[in-house]
Amino acid sequence: MTFRTYRAQPRHVNPVNTNGLAALMIRIARADRAAFARLHAQLRPGLATHVATVPLGPADVAAVTNATFIEVWRLAGRSPERETDAVGWIYAIAARRAGDRWAARMAVALEDEQPMDLRAMFDRQIQMELDTLLARSAGAGHDR
């Protein structure tokens, strides 16, 4: 009987034109909301699938995915777009956030006291910020 080593393969569900993605990242760095909405539409399904590989519930997966996009919006101007794979950079942000979320869940599970609902408040704030950024981005606003 032979055993094979399992290696996790990247789970990019939606193939993305990396040249187009680099251009989007440059536009997002200039606070182009239409570019951000396009990036969000292209990457959200695959990113959510990637985040779901961490043992989190659906609400946590959605929260991590949303927070990842907010972080991308905030840091787009600081990413070395020509030297870094944008998809890899975004997925790395999501992986870090998912790991942090999982660790926070485990810490709360170990406590005897009722946890404060700060995480839910944070999730609502992130959702509102993402909704604002994506709201009518077709109007091409340029404010951060």
Domain range list for the chain: 18-136
- Domain 18-136 indexed as CATH 1.10.1740.10: yes
**The tokens 């043992």 sit on which residue?**
55
**The tokens 């997925």 sit on which residue?**
91
More confident residue, 43 or 111: 43
Say what the pTM is: 0.67
- CA-CA distance, 24 to 76, in Å (whole number)? 10
Indicate whether 142 pLDDT > 70: no
Q: Provide the pLDDT for residue 127.
A: 81
With contact defined as beta carbons under 8 Å apart, do 24 and 39 qualify?
A: yes
**The tokens 């961490």 sit on which residue?**
54
